[in-house]
Amino acid sequence: MQAKQIESNRITLQKGMAREVFELVKDRNRTYFVETYGCQMNVRDSETIAGLLQKMGYSPSESKDGANVILFNTCCVRDHAEKRLLANIGALKERKEEDPGLIIGICGCMMQQQDVAKKVMRRFPFVNFVFGTNVLWRLPELMFSALNGERLILTEEEGFAICESLPALRSNPFSAFVNITFGCDNFCSYCIVPYVRGRERSRALSEVVAEVRALAEQGITEVTLLGQNVNSYGKGMGVDFADLLHAVNGVDGIRRIRYMSSHPKDLTPRLMAAIAENDKVCHHMHLPVQSGSTTILERMNRRYTREGYLHLVEDLRGMVPDIELTTDVIVGFPGETDRDFQDTLSLMDQVGYAAAFTFKYSPRKGTLAAGAEDQIPEAVKKERLKKLNELQGRKTAENNLKYLGHRGEVLVEGFDRRGETILFGKLGVFKMVYFPGDEKLLGTYQTVTVTECARNSLLGRME
Ligand code: 5AD
Ligand code: SF4
């Protein structure tokens, strides 16, 4: 096996090993399929996996059927994704019996937990390898071992170094995800992420800007800067997220800058000013509130209060009046009373989010909240989620109504060809607009006027 090469905080790709795999599979028309669960970080990781497999001589397959390599990129933030994954792996048993050459690998956050990785390998003896999010760069070694009939588990790497030299096969030719931080230091008491993705590390500003510049040269015009908490980018490095926004704003060819997610505790006036000042930064912020009750926020270790959050929203809207907010909310956190839940409803009503991702609290082994004794019954969680979704449904419709007659620019992202061709694309504020047009306009920016508001979307016409 090739030794890992770490230079300061960087690792380099196992180029030699990738070449060895390439030699083994070349001229054999080998294909791969990656099934991705979870958040945008995982979507971005899957692009790296695709890039690596491409380097090793594999080409993409449209579906799982017929693929020679199937990889599952997993999520463990809530138990729902875990259950779905286990069922989907189980379903491959017969395929593997028919085609013993099929390579099945499992990666991502769920596999970063040693005990889970071992359990999966025991339960599914037909799985070739499992590996965690922090060792993507070792995929060539895993593929080489699988082709030679070995089974491997590779999880946590000491130091969680950043690998800057990995290829990526981007899934969208106009818009790209760009990692800016990895891991998380916040330890919200319900969340498994800090345990599976490790301590927060930021990429060097020059590396991020160089990647954005290279993307712009390939025709990408919209970038989404990704991190568990982008607002704390650069901690300990003498730069911050505001500096990064200024720098990326200066890249020629880039027209839109998005970012996700923002922790309220690190939303500073300086950052708000950077959003207001830089013309390419979109007026949308995903600002997860999680709960509207200060008591629950404290138990969640969020480090802000209800009032503090509301003040931030007021300040932000003062500086960027047309900014749209989206959020994440958890219902049924341990100890959440009816009163606490009412506080969440009233905060949602007061803020008026454009959209919200709402979740029932899901205990994650090893987190502080999972050990709490005052867990909330499932039926109560379900009832609260329903109420919350009903409220947000009304708020989304109300928010959409504001856009009736609005004129703005969209990036055309796709089209639907049922009868008349309908194009769709998002406004800067992250609202999707559907409008008739020619599919040749894919990837261009068009000015549209909103003519109708459906419950979850806007309909419009092009100028
Ligand atoms: N249970 C429910 N929701 C969770 N989230 C994170 N951990 C949990 C959990 N244990 C939600 C939070 C976070 C989003 C990505 O997932 O709302 O912002
Ligand atoms: Fe999890 Fe909190 Fe970190 Fe977000 S900020 S990834 S919710 S620990």
Residue 14 confidence (pLDDT) above 80 = no
- Contact indicator for 12, 163 with CB cutoff of 8 Å: yes
Residue from 259, 294, 255, 254 nearest 275 by CA? 259
- Of 99-108, 132-141, 209-218, least confident by mean pLDDT is 132-141
CA 228–ligand 2 middle distance (angstroms)? 6
Query: Which mutation among 41, 76, 190, 329 tests ligand 1's pocket best, with the greatest number of atoms within 8 A of CB?
Result: 190
77/244: higher pLDDT: 244
Give the neighbor-by-neighbor strand order of the sheet with 175-179.
175-179, 222-226, 256-260
Residue 347 has pLDDT above 90, yes or no: yes
Count CB neighbours of 17 within 10 A.
20
The best mutation among 187, 191, 291 to test binding of ligand 1, ranked by most ligand atoms within 8 Å of the C-beta, falls on 191
Is residue 67 lining ligand 2, measured as CB closer than 6 Å? Answer: no
Hunting for tokens 């949602």 — which residue is that?
348
Contact 267, 316 (CB under 8 A): yes
Average pLDDT over the chain, rounded to an integer: 92
CA distance 6 to 445: 42
CA of 174 to the centre of ligand 1 (A): 29
pLDDT value at position 6?
35
**pLDDT (mean) for 218-233:** 97
Report whether 286 contacts 262 (CB < 8 A).
yes
Q: What totals of helices (H) and strands (E) does the chain contain, helices first?
A: 14, 22
Average pLDDT estimate for 427-451:
97
**Amino acid 417: pLDDT:** 81
Kind and range of the H or E element at 358?
A: strand 355-360
Ligand 2 atom 1, closest CA: 191
For the segment 374-426, what is each residue's pLDDT rounded down to a tens digit? 999 999 999 999 999 999 999 999 999 999 999 999 999 999 887 889 999 99
Which of 339, 270, 264, 272 lies closest to 301 in space, CA to CA? 264
pLDDT at 157: 61
Asked whether 188 lines ligand 2 (CB < 6 A), one says yes
| Distance from residue 184's CA to the centre of ligand 2 (Å) | 6
Q: What is the dihedral of CA 268, 392, 184, 340, to 10 degrees?
A: 90
Copy the structure tokens of residue 273.
């000013």
- Phi, psi for residue 72 in degrees, rounded to 5: -110, 120
- CB 194 less than 6 A from any atom of ligand 2: yes
SS3 (DSSP) at 13: coil
Q: Model confidence over 97-120: pLDDT tens digits?
A: 999 999 999 999 999 888 888 999
